[in-house]
Structure 1
Amino acid sequence: MKKRLFIGTTVTIPSSELKKIKKDISNLDIFGKWVEEENLHFTYRFLGEVLSPFIPEISKNLMKALSNVKKVEAELKGLGVFPNNKTPRVLWIGVNAPGIETIKIAVDESLKPMGFKEENKEFIPHVTVLRIKKFRHRIKFSNYLNKMKDHLFLKTTVKEVSLIESILTSDGPVYKKLETVKLL
């Protein structure tokens, strides 16, 4: 049996901040699927479909690789989009955390013995909040993103990293932590 997995850190963003973004986005005629508050996270590495017998080894390697990694202070700050402002598909909150690269490197190192290839894309820590289906008013939206680029949503400490199963359902994904490693 296979499980759809990723390695990440869950976050709790104040509901008042999320309500404000939702209202602003609605006023800009942007439509899509909002990520449920309990599913908010940032991802260090998406693993995809993994055979169940390999999960204990991934957990063991992850725990070993992160055993000497320290907690990181983080700011959830600013809004951005992927892939770009002309054709936005994902609205996200940025994760500004000096030292988070150390966690990413440890995660990647833990996966090498399992045959996972290095990623070719730049690591941009972020929390996805909306999957955009339709939008209008490109200039108004760009202005809004610019206005929000320095908005501080939350200061937090990254205290743990989890191996998370993503169970896809008709109502959206359900996340289940399989292993959690506490940072020093």
Structure 2
Amino acid sequence: MERNTHYFYALKLPVEIKLHLQKICTSLKDELPFKSWVHHEDYHVTLAFLGNADPKRLLDSIQYVRKAVTAQPSFSLMIDHLGVFGKSDSPRIFWAGTEKSQDLHHLRGQVFQACQKSGFILETRPFHPHITLARRWSGTNSFKPDFLEKIEILDFHACEVVLYETHLEKVPKYEVKETFLLSK
């Protein structure tokens, strides 16, 4: 295991949604000087961040998550807005957000509990489902969020949770280690 290897469970996005988000980002890059833009293959919705994980707890989490996720029905989900985390004039994270979804919150709760059952201590901040698009504002002018409302609604069928391993030195940097299909 690499020293800086981290693991997390996420809702996997369909390829066509990732490509559509990539087009949105490409059209915004010139007017939004962020230091780094996320590679489109790395777009996802994080459900539980594990950090560095010992093999035993990781294997336990895989078993518990598989049991929880395969009992969860797949569902429709929409990406319907853009937003930022951090200072409004110099944001840390630029993201695309999902609609409010009880199904997504329930899925996140199932994955979260499975990871806790495996011995992981997870962040307890409220769940704000989002897809990180860019990081670290580097503009000389203040960030102007007037365009955040101008996003075409993207809808898709959420049917897959994955365990990702992070490789900081690679692009894309997330590698799928396990895949869990929701029930039909």
TM-score by length of 1: 0.85
Q: Secondary structure at the match of 1:43?
A: strand
Over 3 Å counting, the alpha-carbon distance change for 1:52 and 1:173 in structure 2 is farther
Supply the RMSD in Å over aligned alpha carbons: 2.1
Gaps of 5+ in 2: none
The answer as to 2:72 corresponding to 1:69 is: yes
Instruction: State the distance in 2 between where 1:33 and 1:84 align.
Output: 17
- Counterparts of 1:174 and 1:50, CA distance in 2: 17
Identify which of 16, 31, 34 aligns with 2:34: 31
Report the 3-state secondary structure (helix = DSSP H, G, I; strand = E; otherwise coil) of the residue aligned with 2:53: strand
Q: State the secondary structure of the residue aligned to 1:177.
A: strand
Distance change in 2, residues 1:115/1:56 (3 Å): closer
- Superposed, 1:127-142 pairs within 5 Å as 127-138=131-142, 141-142=144-145
Change (3 A) 1:172 1:15: closer
Counterpart in 2 of 1:178?
177
Work out whether residues 77 and 96 of structure 1, in 8 Å CA contact, stay in contact via their aligned partners in 2. yes
Contact 1:166 1:173 in 2 (8 A): no
Structure 1 unmatched ranges of 5 or more: none
Larger strand proportion of the pair: 1
**Which secondary structure does the structure 1 equivalent of 2:145 belong to?**
helix
CA contact (8 A) 2:39 2:172 kept: no
Offset at 1:92?
0.4
1:50 to 29, 49, 53: 53
> Is the contact made by 2:18 and 2:40 (CA closer than 8 Å) also made in structure 1?
no
SS for the counterpart of 2:51 is strand
Q: Distance in 1 between matches of 2:93 and 2:63?
A: 33
Residue aligned with 2:84, SS: strand
TM-score (norm 2): 0.85
How many residues end up aligned between the 2 structures? 178
Q: Which deviations, in whole Å up to 9, do the C-alpha atoms of 1:63-96 show, x marking residues without a partner?
A: 1122321112111121100124133011100012
Secondary structure at the counterpart of residue 111 of structure 1: helix
Q: CA deviation at 1:116?
A: 2.1
Q: 1:118 to 1:51 in 2, by over 3 A?
A: closer
